[in-house]
Amino acid sequence: MYGFERLRFWAALLLAVGVAGMTFGGWAPSKAAADSTNLALTATASATSVNPSNPVSHLNDGIVSTSYVSADNPSFPQYVTLTWPSGQKFNSVRISGWNALGQLPKNWDIQVSDDGATNWTTVASSGDVAWSTNDSTLESRTLNFSPVTNKKGVRLKINGAYLVWNHFAMNEMRVLSTVPPPNARSTLVFNLDQGFGNGIVVNNDQVALQRIIDAVQPLQTKYNVIFVLNPMVQNKTNLKAVLDTLAANGMSFLLEAASSDVETLGSCTDTFNAPADPYHGIAASISELTGYKTRYGNYFAGLRIFEMFGQDFTIRAVKTTDPDWALPCWKIPSDSFFQINLLAPYVAFADQHNMFVQWSDPDWYRNRTWDAPQATSEQQLANLLNTYPGRVIVTYANNEIGAPASRIYDWANAIQGFVDQGASGYGLSDQSWECGSSEVTCPASTIIDWARSGLSQGASYVQFEPIWYFFQLPRGSFSYDNYTTSPDWVNRGYATSNFTALKNALLGP
């Protein structure tokens, strides 16, 4: 949760209370659904225009640092073709390259052929693509289409390209089947507790916790189901009691390593929260997490790094043009909020213990090219992914401020390129905060549409929040409230109609 609507929510709460490929815990995020085997690696590549110094074989060698370059001054259309000796099934083609505004194609069609030589059929068209950069930033664009089967050929019909240096070029072309096979299991994640004063952890609400665990059980027939919690609570005994119950029920969990919540919520609730470093969004120390790993083993499946880009933008704005965006209780750092060197040890920890990391954010440079510091931050993330390949699932959060309605159809384009940099896959954070301050009344159909969009666009990992949207729990509060003693909450933890609708949609045909 992040942005102006969320800030208004927090401010209202404060005024109201007067406060100034791996296996983790017995399951595996389905890499097949996120980024299945790159069929291009086994294909033979050819092109109608080639610079011999940069052959077309570089396009499908799986090495991002090599590139295919056309001959100078090409006329259009030009064709780049991949063929196989036997028929293939796929539904997605991705191209990647740097110096996008200087040399990448700007309009192309995807065509397929049964024999790889004749009767080419167009299955997708890019339209005129607006690339963002003309530097070493790797940009990618994916075209998805209805699955095709028994095709021995796929080709790019390049209708136009940027020719700043008189040629066009691409670093990689991937051909993927993002439709999971029948035995593939995507992962669903529910945000159990963000650190609110009336949350399950602060109150050690075992009644609601067990009811929630029981409610998600039917989803486990088709999906991996896990929970995520923020460990910044002061009362570690309560936290361990909640984690003990999850483990006793065979439920894996993630712990938040760093997030916007640590500063915006943790800074303002020091009577019951004690984050490791609220100035930089760090929830818990490596030492604390090591203790949990020792205690819970594989049930402690991973870490989440959440909305650090979005909060960094907010802090930069607070320090320059919009100081009123911050609540008085926030702990504003004197240096940068986002610092990759503070986050890298957590990815290293996950790598050491064979865990995974969900890196989730609503803010991505692909959708906000006017924010130069964001581009720098994403390059630092790319470098980290390269250092720890296959460890991080990069996730788009749908609470992006000012996003067009069409974002539901193209959100994946902002993050798919990180798979080329070393991410194990990509996912979607599906939040009722997408509806702004009316998150409680956000239509269930909106959440369902986004979840279906995620799964259909290749997300192996879909995460949901806030918890009170899906289960009968009080709306998050900045003040301590033991709601468990109130007769109004005797049904706490039972599913809401929103969860029931989501469950039925996800389990349906």
Q: How far apart are CA 509 and CA 501, in angstroms?
A: 14
The domain that holds 256 is classified in CATH as 3.20.20.70
11: region left, alpha or beta (phi > 0 left; psi from -120 to 50 alpha): alpha
Please identify, among 142, 160, 176, the residue that sits at the C-terminal boundary of a domain: 176
Q: How far apart are CA 233 and CA 283, in angstroms?
A: 9
Q: How far apart are CA 498 and CA 469, in angstroms?
A: 7
The domain that holds 102 is classified in CATH as 2.60.120.260
Question: Do residues 45 and 192 both lie within one domain?
Answer: no
The whole model's pTM is what?
Answer: 0.76
Question: Do residues 374 and 472 both lie within one domain?
Answer: yes
Question: Do residues 157 and 194 both lie within one domain?
Answer: no
Question: Do residues 234 and 283 both lie within one domain?
Answer: yes
Question: Do residues 236 and 303 both lie within one domain?
Answer: yes
Q: Which residue, chain included where needed, has tokens 């064979």?
A: 354
Say how many domains are in the chain. 2
Q: How far apart are CA 433 and CA 115, in angstroms?
A: 48
Question: Do residues 10 and 116 both lie within one domain?
Answer: no
Question: Do residues 376 and 481 both lie within one domain?
Answer: yes
Provide the domain limits for residue 328. 4-33+182-507
Please identify, among 129, 151, 176, the residue that sits at the C-terminal boundary of a domain: 176
Question: Do residues 247 and 127 both lie within one domain?
Answer: no
Q: What is the DSSP letter of 429?
A: E
Quick one: which of 151, 82, 77 has its CA closest to 119?
151
Question: Do residues 26 and 48 both lie within one domain?
Answer: no
117-155 burial, b if ≥16 CB within 10 A, otherwise e? eeebeebbebeebebbbeeebbbbbbbbeeebeebbbbb
Please identify, among 176, 206, 221, the residue that sits at the C-terminal boundary of a domain: 176
Question: Do residues 97 and 194 both lie within one domain?
Answer: no
pLDDT per residue rounded down to tens, the chain (509 residues): 544 444 434 444 444 434 333 333 444 444 433 345 789 999 999 999 999 999 999 999 888 889 999 999 999 999 999 999 999 999 889 899 999 999 999 999 999 999 999 999 999 999 998 888 898 888 888 888 888 999 999 999 999 999 999 999 999 999 987 665 555 688 999 999 999 999 999 999 999 999 999 999 999 999 999 999 999 999 999 999 999 999 999 999 999 999 999 999 999 999 999 999 999 999 999 999 999 999 999 999 999 999 999 999 999 999 999 999 999 999 999 999 999 999 999 999 999 999 999 999 999 998 998 999 999 999 999 999 988 888 999 999 999 988 898 899 889 989 988 887 888 889 999 999 888 768 999 999 999 999 999 988 878 899 999 999 999 999 999 999 999 999 999 999 999 999 999 999 999 87
Question: Do residues 269 and 215 both lie within one domain?
Answer: yes
Question: Do residues 259 and 319 both lie within one domain?
Answer: yes
